[in-house]
Chains A and B, each alone.
Chain A
Amino acid sequence: MTAGVAPTAVSIAAEVRGGTRSARSVVEEHLARIAEREPAIHAFNLVLRDEALAAADAVDAAVAAGDDPGPLAGVPVALKDNLCTRGIPTTCSSRILEGWRPPYDATVVERLRRSGAITIGKTNLDEFAMGSSTENSAFGPTRNPHDLTKVPGGSSGGSAAAVAANFAPLALGSDTGGSIRQPASLCGVVGVKPTYGVVSRYGLVAFASSLDQIGPFATTVHDAALLLEIIGGHDPLDSTSIPSPAPSLVDVLDRGVDGLRIGIIGELAGEGIAPDVLARLHEAANVLEKAGAIIDTATIPAAMYGLSAYYLIAPAEASSNLARYDGVRYGLRVDAPTTAEMNELSRTAGFGAEVKRRIMLGTYALSAGYYDSYYGKAQKVRTLIINDFAKAYEQFDLLLSPTSPTTAFALGAKTSDPLTMYLNDICTIPSNLAGQPAMSVPFGVGDDGMPVGVQLLAPLQGEPTMFRAAAVLEAAMKETSR
């Protein structure tokens, strides 16, 4: 059940490329695990059994012909169901996209295919990525593979659970306010939110465009590094894509942290964070210190306002991004005598409660007369956070914090109180507002035996340094579990 039992992406690809193992057997093995545990976990909205087997056969044929199918040859990958896949339903776990099949692949999907990876299914999420528990899915919640009574986190809960349950060694999620890192933490896997613009958003169904970023889930830091190298790099189809190649990560993993200055974010290491999570955080700091890093306390004063700013900016952008689901061109349509009524009835029937709540929040925040005091002010807070990070990074190479304030909570525990649910993202949101990279690395378990993750944060395009520290933490964990 625990991650690490099944082979990693790196080892699978090596075997398949070397001809010592067939891609078909890899896919069959993962499909078998899915058949066994998926009914209880519900990580997927759609398992692409036949497509995956066909793709595996194509990989095997290529190997047999002496061709190299690529660095992820035969590796199953689970895709969050807000990534467009040509001809394959892409639902965002919403009724409103009922029946829609994108006529195109997201850039990341295209890059995965070119690397020999095999899409094994589309994973569940909080509707349109709005949520922190994957309970806001129109198709029912996903459960945490470590304890089926607990949530996997969200919104990329399906992808995190799929990797934790070894349904696939790799998965892609999207992170707007913590939607990769928080479920990674709760499911005990590695989850990365890259620098904004490192991974193309083309084909990612938008939630909040200025915050959304696609990133990897994996069982190991090495696998996550490899996956990010493959999906990253400039894409002319995304105007906000950084015009440089993907960062080199795998090659720097063994460089250690000797001499690196790492700051624990004071504002995120006290009140509101569970004691067992805090304990793991300080143990992680000790590990890094022992490895030669210089540990001190950093301060990001504006981090405290991150949550409030986020819940104005993200819904504001969402209110506009989700306007297109009007029943006119695709997805759900509820017929009515007039266009306006058809729009209204379709949207009423198609969207869930949380999505409606955020559309209303965002519409209000952008309204004439309220713009300056809400959306405008939130943008100023965003600037403050960026400035605070800039100041901190004059002193530190990396920052450290918890990923999530607690370990995984029970299904239904927070569904009636949106504000408590929103607090899940308090540690992860600042990186999205600043556009900076951050990742969650599994680091032991809490008092309840559930996984705890720690978060590493880096300045813009600081992924290589961040991955070096992640590798050190991972190695220490392997030591203790041995």
Chain B
Amino acid sequence: MTEVIEFQPGWELIVGLEVHCELATKTKMFCGCRNEFGHEPNTNVCPTCLGLPGSLPVVNGSAVEYAMRLGRALQCTVSPSVFARKNYFYPDMPKDYQVTQYDKPTNTAGKLELPDGSFVGITRAHLEEDTGKTSHQGGDGRIHGAESSLVDYNRAGVPLVEIVSEPDIRTADQAKAYVDELRKIVLALGVSDAKMEEGSMRVDANVSVRPVGEPEFRTRCEIKNINSIRSVGRAIEYEAKRHIALYDVGEKPTQETRHWDEEHGRTRAGRSKENSDDYRYFDEPDLVPLVPTADDIARIDAALPMLPASRRRRLAEITGAAAADVTLVVDRGHDDFVVSVVGVGADAKKTLTRVENDLPPDQPITLAPQSFAQLVIMETAGELTATQAKQVLAEMLENGGDPKAIAAAKGFEAMASGALEAVVDGIIAANPADWAEFVVADDKARKKLSGFFTGQVMKATQGQADGRAVAEVLARRAAR
């Protein structure tokens, strides 16, 4: 990124994101317990995910497969990896260490393409286990000052992939687009349900600012507890402004973990302990390294579905639209349909417009591409007006059927051919004075009069005529 985007005059925003995705495997990362959200507390637990003395972890092969799939989708290098222990005391962590990957992660050095065509570097995407969930009773709901705490270990040991971006992000919108795009990729791969509100996708933002032109990064703060894509943008902007305000008065932010307070729209400093932990990482001796073969990686690559960026590129190429303008159709999952429809001969631009505007956005398409193509072809050939096409489509969506037959049944076909000229001639005959004026009028005046004639035709046809076709007939008659 060479072009500098100013966040505020003279200041550049620097953001790197850490996104945790819970993998949608059937079982947990290191045991056979069900990996499902919403059960009674402490019902999906066993000696291993409770960290009972003597228990041992066994790697879930599906989780590894999912992580590699995500890694390859992010164009990462997949390497032999080693699990490590991250040691710190916390009641929702049954072993008081988290099994994660440290200096030898599964995925490194990838990139993610945003809808505007820019790229954000991916430092790494590694596997780890989730913690349990603590709810503090009494006090202000946080661990300090709580009267008692309850821990639910159903989530303990659920497989996670943590995707760490490079500090390549320069605007809050870019950050939101990154999270949104990552979510779409994860969904396309089927490796996570990626619900921010349920916590199956969690975003931490590393935010700093620097004066435009300064080569070094300045002190960053890590913002946690961001619960929606919208909050990603708000939290980053708040934090950047806070930093600039501090620099403006000659102070500096401290490197620390801060929490996003959604209600008050601000970040707050975390507990001081969070900022002084020495995690004493070392290789997890209870597990052996993961060593994917070239064949494993080739197999994963071959099975990757088409990803959103490729889908946007494909649709843009076919329709001649800008990549950003096909996002909506791709996001709805309707792009395959457009491709099929265009493939059987329908006009690409018209197809894109019809699919984007006239198909229910939240449902999979049940229409046969051939039928839809037929409809578009009829409309393009002038056999149906825009209004008629929409009515035929509505009927097709409602009851199915062939567009030609539906148009015929509605009497649209006749209107579209010779019938229109007869109607226009009738209107001309009924309004000779206006017609005489029309014939001699200049372009500007003609336009006005054309509106009158078209209105009459529409009235006579109960709106079934195509405005453009009427104008053509009028022009032809006037030229005679």
Contacts and interface: CB of A to CB of B under 8 A. Distances in A.
Interface residues of B, number: 31
Given A102-B53, A343-B89, A338 B58 contact: no
A320 interface: yes
Contacts of B89: 323, 326, 340, 343
Contacts of A201: 56
B143 A339 contact: yes
A366 interface: yes
Contacts of B47: 102-104
B97 to A, nearest CB: 5
Contact of A320 (B53, B55, B85, B288): B85
Contact of A240 (B53, B54, B286): B286
B53 A92 contact: yes
Given A326-B89, A363-B280, A366-B282, A338 B144 contact: yes
A239 B56 contact: yes
Contacts of B87: 319-320, 323, 366
A323 B96 contact: yes
Given A209-B286, A329-B94, A368 B52 contact: no
Contact of B280 (A202, A206, A238, A367): A367
Contacts of A367: 278, 280
B58 A239 contact: yes
B255 interface: no
A204 B47 CA distance: 12
B59 A239 contact: yes
A186 B90 CA distance: 42
B418 interface: no
B51 interface: yes
B359 interface: no
B312 to A, nearest CB: 42
Given A202-B54, A204-B54, A209 B285 contact: yes
A254 B89 CA distance: 54
Contacts of A204: 54
Given A103-B47, A210-B285, A323 B95 contact: yes
A375 interface: yes
B54 A375 contact: no
B54 A97 contact: no
B94 A366 contact: no
Nearest to B83: A239
Given A323-B97, A324-B95, A84 B53 contact: yes
Given A210-B285, A343-B89, A320 B280 contact: yes
Contact of A202 (B56, B143, B287): B56
B236 to A, nearest CB: 29
B53 A90 contact: yes
B300 interface: no
Interface centre among B47, B53, B59, B94 (most CB of A within 10 A): B53
A375 B144 contact: no
Contact of A236 (B58, B95, B144, B286): B58
A187 B435 CA distance: 124
Given A240-B288, A366-B280, A368-B278, A106 B54 contact: yes
Contact of A329 (B50, B58, B282, B288): B50
Main secondary structure of the interface of A (DSSP, over half): loop
Nearest to B30: A239
Nearest to B48: A237
A202 B286 CA distance: 10
A166 B200 CA distance: 57
Given A202-B55, A239-B287, A328 B282 contact: no
Nearest to B284: A209
Interface residues of A, number: 45
Main secondary structure of the interface of B (DSSP, over half): loop
A352 interface: no
B52 A330 contact: yes
A117 to B, nearest CB: 19
A239 B57 contact: yes
Nearest to B92: A328
Contacts of A237: 56, 58
Interface centre among B55, B94, B95, B285 (most CB of A within 10 A): B285
B91 interface: yes
B423 interface: no
Interface in B73-98: 85, 87, 89, 91, 94-97
Nearest to A202: B56
B149 interface: yes
Contacts of B469: none
A238 B54 contact: no
Interface string B46-71: 01001111111111000000000000
A205 interface: yes
A303 interface: no
A338 B149 CA distance: 10
B151 interface: yes
A281 interface: no
A324 B281 CA distance: 16
A442 to B, nearest CB: 30
A238 B278 contact: no
A363 B97 CA distance: 13
B58 A206 contact: no
Nearest to A200: B56
Contacts of A210: 285
Nearest to B145: A338
A239 to B, nearest CB: 5
A135 interface: no
Interface in B237-287: 278, 280-282, 285-287
Contacts of B53: 84, 90, 92, 97, 100, 102, 205-206, 324
A203 interface: yes
Interface centre among A208, A319, A366, A375 (most CB of B within 10 A): A366
19 contacts: A92-B53, A102-B47, A102-B52, A104-B52, A201-B56, A202-B55, A205-B54, A209-B286, A237-B56, A239-B56, A239-B57, A317-B285, A319-B280, A323-B87, A323-B95, A326-B96, A329-B94, A338-B143, A363-B280
